[in-house]
Amino acid sequence: MEIATKYDPSEVEDKWYQYWMENGFFHSEPDEREPYTIVIPPPNVTGVLHMGHMLNNTIQDILIRRARMLGKNACWVPGTDHASIATEAKVVAKLAQEGIKKIDLTREQFLTHAWDWTHKHGGLILEQLKKLGASCDWERTCFTMDEKRSESVIKVFVDLYNKGLIYRGVRMVNWDPAAKTALSDEEVIHKEQNGKLYYLRYKIAGENGYAVIATTRPETIFGDTAVCINPNDPRNAHLKGKKVIVPIANREVPIIEDEYVDLEFGTGCLKVTPAHDVNDYMLGEKYNLEILDIFNDDGTLNQYGLQYEGKDRFAVRKQIEKDLEAAGLMEKVEAYENKVGFSERTNVPIEPKLSMQWFLKMSDLAKPALEAVENDTIRFFPPKYKNTYRHWMENIRDWNISRQLWWGHRIPAYYLPQGGLVVAETKEEAYKKALSIVNYQLSIEDLRQDEDSLDTWFSSWLWPISVFDGVNDPHNQEIDYYYPTNDLVTGPDIIFFWVARMIMSGYELREKPCFHNVYFTGIVRDKQGRKMSKSLGNSPEPLDLIAKYGADGVRMGLMLSAPAGNDILFDETLCEQGRNFNNKIWNAFRLVKGWEVAAIPQPESSAIAIRWFEAQLSKTIESINDLFDKYRISETLMEVYKLFWDEFSSWYLEMIKPGYQQPVDRKTYEATLGFFDALLRLLHPFMPFITEELWQALETRKEGESIMVVTMPVSQRRDKACLVSTTEQLLLGMEETKEIISNIRTIRLQKNIPGKEPLSLQVLGEYKADYNSVIAKMANLSSIEKVREKAPGAVSFLVKTTELAIPVGNAINIEEELAKLETDLHYQRGFLKSVLGKLSNENFVSKAPAPVIEAERKKQADAESKIKSLEESIAALK
């Protein structure tokens, strides 16, 4: 195979991805091997690839590729989520551009548009993941609203309803006025907002006085049905048993007393608006207050808002402030900072609203799911997220699972004409049920299905089970083989939305954990620590990065900055580092393959280098395996990176490289190709494209062969204590050898001695000569000899306790060297004088912290040592 002068990812990546696809390397079927399963966190069908997806899917691909090479039957199931709120919003916006309003369409007409949009735009993100090298089993691609997944969702709803776990009731919910749907608590993001605190005057009925009430939401006064005071508050004792008049609304409402009122907040008077505040609703229930819902579904005021009817809530807030001022009913206004709930999807402030909704009881479902994480049946990486998980699970509330949307799984509840309802998987089944419970004439057309759809998460919580059709067919071959899955890679921001709920569904439906390990990625931020977003302009386009640096370069750049659970400070220079590493691998391969091979004896230095690198390779493999077991994937990459760049390229290849225009012996050449093969296999999960290209070029391959499906290299010293001891000695000896070579190279640099000029090495003291051939070659030495005294003018250095010296008499210009040493000596004496001046200053010594004084004393000792060494060197040259 002809190897190009430079590595060009664009010529390699599409070629090999197509090859992998054509040969079915990504596809898995149950067999006798150990399964290894990952299910992709399904991206929204509306989504396009962003840096978070890149990180998450790079990690998944690393894990799945490694599992294949460990001989496991690796199955990575891809798919997309129907994303009810986001998708419906996109379809509504698209229709609006065409002059069509959703309100003018039937449900069926709207869903036709939604499916058309999904077929046109959906799945784009999965195609983009192929550019990254994601080795998903694309034949298994699922969609949360495809036929099998939809059947699964409806089946589970009916099952949980029949168990009494799903119920319907009026509750205070989080209402999104933009999406016009209820949200679960987890879909609400609380943000600090700079607002105002308005002090309103409520006239006391039949008197001249006022009760002053502080509120952040003056527009809700039309829903006030009481004013509450704390019975223990002397400031408001005069209001007991009285009524006040709501400003502008001019309605009389009673003063009620309850210790719920915070004595420290505001004036101690609380306006009670049961329809629009969770705590007010509880007071309303307790004191049987009237409930006035003053908002339309879009956040405008309804008829209860009087002259403000039809106006947006925030427009009313601005206007009512002016109107209250004009009416003399505003005591004062203060700046106020408080937390406001925003819709995670539409980013508008949510509105607490009473609404008839469907709920799933969570307390019993949560118990086994909490226990599984607490006892490490399911392990979290990093473990710190166990605390977050525990807090939420111990304070869990029932899940509002209904959404006022058309795009999604329609709730399978059917209402009867004379009241009541039945729940069934199909309308036909519902009709049969209905006939068994009513005593009047009933046709199937009389049944009216609930208009609401299920929360998107109600389908994705079943994902590890439903992708193998384990709901519809609980004992099919695939669910029994692939489930529980092995690893889940996801972000901590959806630990409640998705991770916790999947764990609950696993125990409820299959009495097993749905996965064994959860790896939490961090949030990808820019190098200034800001979250990446299009509005800030700090989020690079992933496909542009791939085009610029190659997929392997980008994957490496991401992983170098991605410790588990910690935020990733992404810097494009890391992708450049990844590209440079690609070039390093490529150039090293071209170097080795460019050597002429001859039937000549193997040099001793090469034999030593091979034994050393075998030991180094085994030790690194053990370290890599240990790091993978701990899910320290970023550190694993660094281990392989250092093994290739530092040990293999910078040291091993230099040790065995033949002289200029000289051949290499066959034994060394074949060993080197073997090392290259092992290194490519270790690198493959991280950098799949370049490793495939070079592995194919290592030797002649047959059609259908791939590095993807060869075995990962193993340590050659496993479970052999004596072998481990021997290799550790070998590694230690080579580290000392490398230190000697580095010191000699430094002397050459300092003394301007050309690399081609041979030097001699003198050894004083204990020394093993085992590595002399390597030192002689790498440092270009003519001799290595043990001596009792070093030669006059020799430059010495220490390695551990052994002194070594390089005689440099004829190799340097004595006058130039003396001048340089005298200049350095003058500087060191001046530096020592300044340090001694500080230490003799009583004021400094008495006031400076102990570590500062200690640092100055160390400077003194270092300077004195350097001065002594310089004086000796000058004396030797004279």
Average pLDDT over the chain reads 91
In the block, which residue shows the tokens 């040790």?
655
In the block, which residue shows the tokens 């709120």?
85
Residue 812 has pLDDT above 80, yes or no: no
Query: Residues 90-145: pLDDT tens digits?
Result: 898 899 999 998 888 999 999 999 999 998 888 888 999 999 999 999 999 999 99
Instruction: Give the separation between CA 347 and CA 189, rounded to whole angstroms.
Output: 9
Please say whether the dihedral angle defined by the alpha carbons of residues 212, 213, 219 and 225, taken in this order, is positive or negative.
negative
Residue by residue, DSSP assigns 256-302 as: EE-TTS-TTSTTSEEEE-TTS-HHHHHHHHHHT------B-TTSBB-
Long-range contacts formed by 578-583: CB under 8 A, 24+ apart: 578/549, 578/550, 578/552, 578/553, 578/554, 579/549, 579/550, 579/553, 581/553, 581/556, 581/641, 581/644, 581/645, 581/687, 582/7, 582/9, 582/550, 582/552, 582/553, 582/687, 582/690, 583/6, 583/7
How many C-beta neighbours within 10 Å does residue 231 have?
12
**For 243-252, 301-310, 804-813, which range has the lowest pLDDT when averaged over its residues?**
804-813
Burial class (CB in 10 A: 0-12, 13-18, 19+), 547: middle
Q: E strands of 769-842, at which residues?
A: 781-786, 795-799, 802-806
Cβ atoms of 856 and 838 closer than 8 Å: yes
pLDDT attached to residue 736: 93
Q: Find all residues with CB under 8 Å of 430, minimum gap 6, and list them.
A: 412, 414, 422, 423, 424, 447
Name the residue with higher pLDDT: 148 or 52.
148
Name the residue with higher pLDDT: 713 or 188.
713
Q: What is the four-CA torsion angle of 572, 578, 579, 582, rounded to 10 degrees?
A: 180
Structure tokens at 310: 């039809």
pLDDT attached to residue 721: 53
pLDDT attached to residue 716: 83
Residue type, position 217, single letter:
R
pLDDT attached to residue 537: 77
Burial class (CB in 10 A: 0-12, 13-18, 19+), 259: exposed
If you count them, how many residues does the chain have? 878
Cβ atoms of 381 and 198 closer than 8 Å: no
Residue type, position 40, single letter:
I
pLDDT attached to residue 644: 97
Residue 686 has pLDDT above 80, yes or no: yes
Confidence of residue 653 (pLDDT cuts 50, 70, 90): very high
Start-to-end C-alpha separation, the chain: 61
Query: Residues 240-278: pLDDT tens digits?
Result: 999 999 999 999 999 999 988 888 877 889 999 998 888
pLDDT attached to residue 846: 84
Cβ atoms of 166 and 359 closer than 8 Å: yes
pLDDT attached to residue 265: 79
pLDDT attached to residue 479: 97
Residue 327 has pLDDT above 80, yes or no: yes
SS3 377: coil
Confidence of residue 678 (pLDDT cuts 50, 70, 90): very high
pLDDT attached to residue 562: 72
**For 317-326, 415-424, 561-570, which range has the lowest pLDDT when averaged over its residues?**
561-570
Q: Is 661 left (phi over 0), alpha (psi -120 to 50) or beta?
A: left
pLDDT, mean of residues 178-189: 84
3-state SS record for 56-101 = HHHHHHHHHHHHHHCCCEEEEECEEECCHHHHHHHHHHHHHHCCCC
pLDDT, mean of residues 204-216: 91
Question: Beta strands 399-400 and 351-360: pairing type?
Answer: antiparallel
Cβ atoms of 302 and 294 closer than 8 Å: yes
Residue 741 has pLDDT above 60, yes or no: yes
SS3 489: strand
pLDDT, mean of residues 531-542: 78
pLDDT attached to residue 565: 60
Burial class (CB in 10 A: 0-12, 13-18, 19+), 348: middle
Residue 201 has pLDDT above 70, yes or no: yes
Q: Find all residues with CB under 8 Å of 597, minimum gap 6, and list them.
A: 663, 664, 665, 666, 669
Backbone angles phi, psi at 763, to 5 degrees: -120, 125
Residue by residue, DSSP assigns 729-761 as: HHHHHHHHHHHHHHHHHHHHHHHT--TTS-EEE
pLDDT, mean of residues 400-406: 91
**For 343-357, 557-571, 776-790, which range has the lowest pLDDT when averaged over its residues?**
557-571
Instruction: Give the separation between CA 181 and CA 358, rounded to whole angstroms.
Output: 13
Q: Find all residues with CB under 8 Å of 96, minimum gap 6, and list them.
A: none
Q: In the chain, what's the furthest Cα-to-Cα distance?
A: 123
pLDDT attached to residue 805: 93
Backbone angles phi, psi at 105, to 5 degrees: -105, 150
Q: E strands of 510-648, at which residues?
A: 515-520, 524-526, 568-570, 597-598
Long-range contacts formed by 383-386: CB under 8 A, 24+ apart: 384/565, 385/492, 385/495, 385/518, 385/520, 385/565
Query: Residues 231-240: pLDDT tens digits?
Result: 989 999 999 9
Residue 480 has pLDDT above 80, yes or no: yes
Cβ atoms of 367 and 227 closer than 8 Å: no
Cβ atoms of 549 and 523 closer than 8 Å: no
Instruction: Give the separation between CA 491 and CA 78, rounded to whole angstroms.
Output: 17
The pTM of this model reads: 0.82
Instruction: Give the separation between CA 220 and CA 350, rounded to whole angstroms.
Output: 14
CA gyration radius, the chain: 37
Question: Beta strands 568-570 and 485-490: pairing type?
Answer: unpaired
Confidence of residue 727 (pLDDT cuts 50, 70, 90): confident
pLDDT attached to residue 725: 67
Residue 43: DSSP 8-state: P
Cβ atoms of 503 and 513 closer than 8 Å: yes
pLDDT, mean of residues 328-339: 91
Q: E strands of 527-588, at which residues?
A: 568-570
Cβ atoms of 397 and 431 closer than 8 Å: no
Confidence of residue 148 (pLDDT cuts 50, 70, 90): very high
Instruction: Give the separation between CA 392 and CA 380, rounded to whole angstroms.
Output: 15
SS3 192: strand
Cis omega before residue 484 (within 30°)?
A: yes
Beta-bridge mates of residue 835 = none
**For 15-24, 58-67, 466-475, 854-863, which range has the lowest pLDDT when averaged over its residues?**
854-863
Instruction: Give the separation between CA 183 and CA 185, rounded to whole angstroms.
Output: 6
**Nearest Cα to Cα of residue 512 among 493, 486, 532:** 486
Instruction: Give the separation between CA 802 and CA 696, rounded to whole angstroms.
Output: 47
Cβ atoms of 455 and 403 closer than 8 Å: yes
